[in-house]
Amino acid sequence: MRRAAAFLAAAVLGGLAGGAFGAHPLVTEDAWTQDPGRHQLELNTDTIRDIDGPDRIAGATLTYGWREGLDLFTSLPLGLSSPRGWGDASVGVKWQFAKRDAFTFALKPELFLPTGSEMKALGTGNPSIGVTLVSSAVLDRWQWHANVAANINRYRREEDRARFRNVIWRVSSAVEYALTEKLQWLLDAGLSHSQEAEVTRLPMHLVTGFIYSPNSDLDLDAGLRLNRRCGDCGTLGTRQFGVGLTWRF
């Protein structure tokens, strides 16, 4: 059941498929959008290790550049360990609403659909919403991103309504550095509310990894994420290693 609760926590925040989060392995969303008429497909898989042993998750996100500065996207998470199955799918938009000097600002609202089984803790059982305020900047070889995000979750099961928070917020920031024309190093850190209502200590994350781009339409990535998931209940945290692919067409 602890594994199921952990999956639900990740699914609610959108982290499994990158719905509310940035390009894998980043947690922090960037403000960039696709060119009009272009598509982007993101596929990723991660192994999470904690005191209960390893869990595997995967996800897919399809993005379409509807017009300049406005993307449409849909995401779907998948649990590959017990409990196995689809999580809550999401649909949303990313809108670049302002640019100033090197900075770009975007808003990313998202609707989560109850496609995952709440009985298996693969979803909430009801539609939920999320919104992320995004800022990005480019300074020579560096890129910088910052997020303030919130999810409003609606749980169908009475047990989940008693156990989990309805509103979960997150703040995070990330940097990317171009080591070469094809290879980027990244670092991402942040904190959020715990989904568990009884936990008052704020979970934190730290991510580092690399993105290799053999050409302008393909990215291959790998990253390591450290989570302090439940400080008040004795869990030191989890380690999460993942790989991903991003294809633009």
Would you give per-residue pLDDT tens digits along the chain (249 residues)?
A: 555 555 555 555 444 434 456 788 999 999 999 999 999 999 999 998 876 667 899 999 999 999 999 999 999 999 998 789 999 999 999 999 999 999 999 999 999 999 999 988 889 999 999 999 999 999 999 999 999 999 999 999 999 999 999 999 999 999 999 999 999 999 999 999 888 888 888 889 999 999 999 999 999 999 999 987 654 444 457 889 999 999 999
Q: What is residue 230's predicted lDDT score, i.e. its pLDDT?
A: 54
**Residue 159 burial by Cβ neighbours in a 10 Å radius (0-12, 13-18, 19+):** exposed
Domain boundaries, given as residue ranges, for the chain: 2-248
For domain 2-248, the CATH architecture is: Beta Barrel (2.40)
- Quick count: other Cβ atoms within 10 Å of Cβ 101? 6
Q: Model pTM?
A: 0.88
Residue type, 195: Q
**E strand spans, the chain:** 39-50, 53-67, 70-79, 85-86, 90-100, 103-112, 128-139, 142-152, 167-178, 183-192, 204-215, 218-228, 238-248
Q: What is residue 19's predicted lDDT score, i.e. its pLDDT?
A: 45
Q: What is the pLDDT of residues 184-195, one digit of tens each?
A: 999 999 999 888
CA pseudo-torsion sign 156, 161, 165, 167: positive
Q: What is the pLDDT of residues 113-136, one digit of tens each?
A: 999 999 888 899 999 999 999 999
